[in-house]
Structure 1
């Protein structure tokens, strides 16, 4: 890890001192960006893959796993109440709550008491010193499943599922014949209080997951997924090797020859991150974890060394790179070249073009989705602002993963108690805005490409202000109900 960081830093310094080397790096980045941008329309043009076909009717016995860590007790209990109210036969499923590394008894004891009131329906496990974050917790839950279990279901601690969730899951498994199915993530009250943020998050499912469904190679997204117990065991269970244990397991399942389908039905709703700061942390984990997964399984994806077909490799690549942003290196190089009087070089123009290409990718993805689904212009604008505001964190996450920085699993705060006024200042985006403004004033670049690139670097700050305002409205709309939730 240290060697990769040192090597990357050395190459960056040399690229600053030697513009031809910097130009080569920018050219490589531009090539990768164009290839990833071309991947989506390429997949869209492919004919839909024929499904493997429904299997003979079979009994499904579900083990529902709810992994928790320092969650608000009322939130977890609301999740458990919804699971208890399923219209699936009570003798046909169990619920396992696996609380890991929560030191404060005030957070896990109320959940334990609730579970003890339903001893025949819920099993509560509390463990300390669990390694592997959520993956470690889910593996412990796997060790405690009922022998009758045919499928494992994961539900996040803040998700309230529909009463017919398990019935729909069984129907989807029977209809598709899949080894695992993934339902979309959705958020309570988001379409009213923060529709742009909701639309930005939904874009992944409406594009990447939907197209991966054709190849039966949908990657898991952590909650509302239903996995064959046999397939999960054959793949080796969950792994904490990356911070997106769900996507990483999905790659192994696909390579093992198992089929995964995306079921575009809203069967449960959770909570949006309560501030832009929390949304950035979530996006950082998703982007960096998927980059880790891509590196970990690069041989399978890029060389075909495993059993993956070309179609599956392409849709897996599309899903793992959904939030990639490669603009950090060109930004650094452009800043240094402008400050050292090299802003007139071809290398600086290439760096500016790479930055603009990154923005074009964001705009094209959001506008294409908005046009295809007929979203109102206001919602598309807010979704575009959200994706733009998150771009700096995506860029940092991509680089951190590629150079081997140590990454840790970050649990999204769902209480609102940790919020501080400083979280609404959007420091990273403000730094970009100030830096671009100063570079415009000090270096006065003549190249229209560089001028446009510096203007693009100013956009994340106003986008962050708009997105932060939406999330404050969302927070104000959901917090009263959360405080009233009985523990």
Structure 2
């Protein structure tokens, strides 16, 4: 295969070398070409001219071209206009109306229609030729706009009787419409200012471009007339006429504006038609060219001209060979060295870019400013190669369907086409380009990794081209569908948001990066635990504290939906979901701003605020509260009270902070209306909030969430004071709370007074009511609660006030020079950089709990803990996690409860009000009490600044029986190893000697099951044992739950949904151990294994 790849590359490189060298040759000749002398215009003895306008379904441009042609400066008795109309839509009526109008003014214009589209454009032109006696035939496509003096200047080019056709240069009506049209114009300029400028003057064969030119009737007839054998009837006729001895003339100074395709689908179809027709013409006429008496150089030029589209196709074929070559390099194949020169030769693929530069130089002006566009066109040209290969395959069939390129009369920036007829949403070719772009991107990465940088660059060019065309095509499809479903207004809003995307890129990347850090809030892990429990049980409950009456359900259900998709243990998914909510908040803040500049500045100030960054990347409810409340404010500003009410209700279902915020909004609105003596407007201004107020009243009366939330906050504050984590002086806490807010929000705090006056003077007071005053009231109330000692002073209390503050600060800078805005954004960035070490260290206090959770993961059975952090890192399912609030007050009863619920480990924190500290005094200080046994080094679980934490093993009740006088059978050994591959698995029977030394080692023992499924081996991590013994007969029944799966060859075991259970009955009697097994497995198992590890001891 390597030999085949090398052969393909060497052979194709020969053509690419010839083609690239020839383009450089033409470019050099164009560079040295003196300005062409335009023939004198015709001013008398004008010949009869027929102007043909081939039209098919061109409702948007038909009138324009008819009007332009009717205004041509030519004697009316010598001018005939034929509208060759094959349309089958409303274009027919438009054409008929314009024909009647100009005919009434004395213009000889006819509306010619055929019974069918046979022969497409070629057939229409031939049909029109039969209807006229004119000696000269001018042709214009429907999207061209000839100037009135076109005929006088172009007919002069036919003064030489050997000239069969005259070609004018294409200019562009909509060059500046988009980057895409600018790039296309560069390609067309190259064709006309280099190829068309050089070929006719050098005597080489060239082509009529199908429009913007004049044919001599005699030349058409001598060449055999128009033919539909190819899709490029113009190229076909041009070559046939020149092979008959006729010559071509190109008037570079004479230009005709035309409309470039604005849709990627249209451009792709145009390139496909041109490429197919070029290949068809080459197959048809290249043998005749080679047999002709033309000089060898002329034949070579003709071959390069007709086969020009072969270059991008061969380049893509070469690229397809690169994987084989890279494989050859890895395998040290000596043939690999042979392709160095051919790949180097492919640098000639830059020849079109050089030619385009020459074209722009010949056009005059600052041509160097277009160099970035010229290089970008090289990428797009490479991306067109897939279309060209498909065209090459079609070229082996004669003719084909002539799919015209839709035009929409787009002449200036901002004009709309997406709601027009002829627009297609999407193209299957875009999917192929996406796949090719992804494949070539991977190829480039592989080549770079192997040090083949030329290959890597070559692949990158194609990848960028493919991805640009597919991505732009997808974007246009979304825009078209948006217009069809939601209207032009929605599209306009979407476009206004597009400039925001680059602005959001950096904050988005920063948020995603910070989301990878460990979450510093225990509340985040609490939210995860409740959401995971909801996913697994279908019930909203708090396994640790039973605080369903404190946590409102809105966020829990959203989090459960995320975990349902991502997996119950994927807390990272919750953090990324909040990042998405934060990005939506930034978009809403931009929409709330009064000017685009305010919006951009407010987004930057908010996105670079440390409080916003930290809270938005945690699995807490505040991002949901913020996006819904900000959305409600935007909905009200857009006169959508129903949407505002729905969002306010959702916010009130997600957190009690939203309740406080809502009352602050209502207070601000009511206060403003009363101060302005606008009492009649009070009812409609407040009506939108009534549904949310009703919801929160029902929740408070039935569940008491607000009361419980305040009580819990007060309990947290007192607990933190008791541990020494928080100062006991509420005044000091309040000062710290305010100081932290001022420092973290320094740029916004300084700039806010500048915007306050403009907000107070605003006639509507809208943002004042909805964001600014509520933010101030909210901060004031929360600060008072901190000073009163009720709240601990978490920085998350600032979060809801940040958008209003950011908009206020941005409005203060709106009338000041732009550098001040840049300076403010830079200051916000510096504050964030200064806070990053602090943000990174916030989670360090929980490192002990993380280590404790991981230590508990190695212990079998359920977990007793009051720490959601330890619960998460234990990897245990919510059904295996219990809070100590469930323990009976009596220690003996509590021990029985632990054994009844299969608790195998406990993580105990030094917090006095936790139930475990009262039931088992001393555990919180590291003093083991039966049946608790310490695990690991307790120093590993307590870090400076963190909570005192201890980890204990809770061994199950011993079940022992003598097998012989010296050997003991033990089903639940007290000293099961806490380390090793099988430490977290449920064990079978083990043998011990009289002194308690194990005979069977660390294995799974005797009778432990394994079920093999196609997706892995399932072991038991949870088991319950029942003692059915009676005097003289020992019988134990152990139920193994198959809820652990082996994930790799090292036998790491992870929790998994149970695949069933295996009931093993042990009987010990008369020196024997007998077992019986009953299995209840889910369908699909391949094998059931009963272990007898260390079998030599049995």
Alignment TM-score, normalising by the size of structure 2: 0.37
Aligned counterpart, 1:99: 85
Aligned counterpart, 1:111: 95
Aligned counterpart, 2:500: none
Counterparts of 1:144-155 in structure 2, within 5 Å, are 144-145=131-132, 147=133, 149-155=134-140
The 1:442/1:264 distance shift into structure 2, 3 A limit, reads closer
CA contact (8 A) 1:362 1:384 kept: no
Aligned counterpart, 1:333: 321
The 1:411/1:235 distance shift into structure 2, 3 A limit, reads same
Counterparts of 1:1-40 in structure 2, within 5 Å, are 18-40=1-23
Looking at structure 2, the residues matched to 398 and 424 of structure 1 have their Cα atoms a distance apart, in angstroms, of 15
Match for 2:226 among 235, 238, 262?
A: 238
Aligned counterpart, 1:350: 339
CA contact (8 A) 1:219 1:319 kept: no
Structure with more relative contact order (C-alpha pairs < 8 Å, separation 6 or more): 1
Instruction: Identify the range of structure 1 (160-169 vs 399-408) with the bigger mean alpha-carbon deviation.
Output: 399-408
CA contact (8 A) 2:13 2:346 kept: no
Aligned counterpart, 1:167: 152
The 1:187/1:48 distance shift into structure 2, 3 A limit, reads closer
Secondary structure (helix, strand or coil) at the match of 2:170 reads coil
Match for 1:223 among 211, 220, 230?
A: 211
Looking at structure 1, the residues matched to 380 and 188 of structure 2 have their Cα atoms a distance apart, in angstroms, of 13
CA contact (8 A) 1:436 1:454 kept: yes
The 1:420/1:470 distance shift into structure 2, 3 A limit, reads closer
Question: Do residues 62 (structure 1) and 46 (structure 2) align?
Answer: no
Shift in Å, 1:421? 5.8
Counterparts of 1:176-255 in structure 2, within 5 Å, are 178-191=163-176, 194-216=181-203, 217-255=205-243
Shift in Å, 1:361? 3.4
CA contact (8 A) 2:382 2:462 kept: no
Question: Do residues 142 (structure 1) and 129 (structure 2) align?
Answer: yes
Question: Do residues 297 (structure 1) and 302 (structure 2) align?
Answer: no
CA contact (8 A) 1:366 1:384 kept: no
Aligned counterpart, 1:131: 118
The 1:339/1:107 distance shift into structure 2, 3 A limit, reads farther
- Deviation per residue, 1:462-485 (Å, 9 max, x gap): 65489889999xx9xxxx9xxxxx
The 1:295/1:366 distance shift into structure 2, 3 A limit, reads same
Shift in Å, 1:452? 2.9
Question: Do residues 459 (structure 1) and 464 (structure 2) align?
Answer: yes
- Deviation per residue, 1:27-83 (Å, 9 max, x gap): 1110001111222344555998999x99x99642111111111111x4112111111
Looking at structure 1, the residues matched to 151 and 98 of structure 2 have their Cα atoms a distance apart, in angstroms, of 22
CA contact (8 A) 2:276 2:395 kept: no
Secondary structure (helix, strand or coil) at the match of 2:253 reads coil
Secondary structure (helix, strand or coil) at the match of 1:130 reads coil
Secondary structure (helix, strand or coil) at the match of 2:61 reads helix
Aligned counterpart, 1:80: 66
Secondary structure (helix, strand or coil) at the match of 1:95 reads strand
Secondary structure (helix, strand or coil) at the match of 1:37 reads helix
- Deviation per residue, 1:157-198 (Å, 9 max, x gap): 111110111111122222786221000122213157544432
Secondary structure (helix, strand or coil) at the match of 2:155 reads helix
Aligned counterpart, 2:380: 389
Secondary structure (helix, strand or coil) at the match of 1:408 reads coil
Looking at structure 2, the residues matched to 311 and 274 of structure 1 have their Cα atoms a distance apart, in angstroms, of 38
Instruction: Identify the range of structure 1 (166-175 vs 454-463) with the bigger mean alpha-carbon deviation.
Output: 454-463
Instruction: Output the aligned Cα RMSD.
Output: 3.8
Looking at structure 2, the residues matched to 259 and 425 of structure 1 have their Cα atoms a distance apart, in angstroms, of 39
Shift in Å, 1:108? 1.3
CA contact (8 A) 2:440 2:460 kept: yes
Aligned counterpart, 1:272: 260
Secondary structure (helix, strand or coil) at the match of 1:25 reads helix
Instruction: Identify the range of structure 1 (171-180 vs 381-390) with the bigger mean alpha-carbon deviation.
Output: 171-180
CA contact (8 A) 2:55 2:85 kept: yes
The 1:408/1:357 distance shift into structure 2, 3 A limit, reads farther
Aligned counterpart, 1:3: none
Aligned counterpart, 2:443: 439
Which of these two proteins has the greater Rg computed from alpha carbons?
Answer: 2
CA contact (8 A) 2:13 2:345 kept: no
Looking at structure 2, the residues matched to 344 and 275 of structure 1 have their Cα atoms a distance apart, in angstroms, of 47
Looking at structure 1, the residues matched to 320 and 268 of structure 2 have their Cα atoms a distance apart, in angstroms, of 21
Match for 1:90 among 76, 92, 96?
A: 76
- Runs (5+) with no aligned partner, structure 2: 409-416, 481-487, 489-1098
The 1:380/1:349 distance shift into structure 2, 3 A limit, reads farther
Shift in Å, 1:272? 0.7
Secondary structure (helix, strand or coil) at the match of 1:123 reads strand
Looking at structure 1, the residues matched to 375 and 33 of structure 2 have their Cα atoms a distance apart, in angstroms, of 29
The 1:462/1:372 distance shift into structure 2, 3 A limit, reads farther
Looking at structure 2, the residues matched to 400 and 236 of structure 1 have their Cα atoms a distance apart, in angstroms, of 26
The 1:395/1:35 distance shift into structure 2, 3 A limit, reads farther
Aligned counterpart, 1:430: 434
Secondary structure (helix, strand or coil) at the match of 1:297 reads helix
Looking at structure 2, the residues matched to 283 and 343 of structure 1 have their Cα atoms a distance apart, in angstroms, of 40
CA contact (8 A) 2:425 2:476 kept: no
Aligned counterpart, 2:794: none
CA contact (8 A) 1:68 1:98 kept: yes
Aligned counterpart, 2:249: 261
Looking at structure 2, the residues matched to 423 and 40 of structure 1 have their Cα atoms a distance apart, in angstroms, of 32
Shift in Å, 1:296? 1.4
The 1:176/1:402 distance shift into structure 2, 3 A limit, reads farther
Looking at structure 1, the residues matched to 316 and 228 of structure 2 have their Cα atoms a distance apart, in angstroms, of 27
Shift in Å, 1:381? 1.6
Instruction: Identify the range of structure 1 (117-126 vs 273-282) with the bigger mean alpha-carbon deviation.
Output: 117-126
CA contact (8 A) 2:65 2:145 kept: yes
Looking at structure 2, the residues matched to 249 and 359 of structure 1 have their Cα atoms a distance apart, in angstroms, of 30
Looking at structure 2, the residues matched to 144 and 440 of structure 1 have their Cα atoms a distance apart, in angstroms, of 58
Looking at structure 2, the residues matched to 361 and 428 of structure 1 have their Cα atoms a distance apart, in angstroms, of 27
The 1:386/1:453 distance shift into structure 2, 3 A limit, reads closer
Aligned counterpart, 2:392: 401
CA contact (8 A) 1:20 1:347 kept: no
Looking at structure 2, the residues matched to 316 and 232 of structure 1 have their Cα atoms a distance apart, in angstroms, of 20
- Deviation per residue, 1:369-393 (Å, 9 max, x gap): 3455564444232233234213232
CA contact (8 A) 2:62 2:95 kept: yes
Secondary structure (helix, strand or coil) at the match of 2:169 reads coil
The 1:134/1:286 distance shift into structure 2, 3 A limit, reads same
The 1:347/1:421 distance shift into structure 2, 3 A limit, reads farther
Question: Do residues 360 (structure 1) and 350 (structure 2) align?
Answer: yes
The 1:175/1:336 distance shift into structure 2, 3 A limit, reads same
Looking at structure 1, the residues matched to 151 and 475 of structure 2 have their Cα atoms a distance apart, in angstroms, of 33
The 1:206/1:310 distance shift into structure 2, 3 A limit, reads same
Secondary structure (helix, strand or coil) at the match of 1:261 reads strand
Aligned counterpart, 2:1048: none
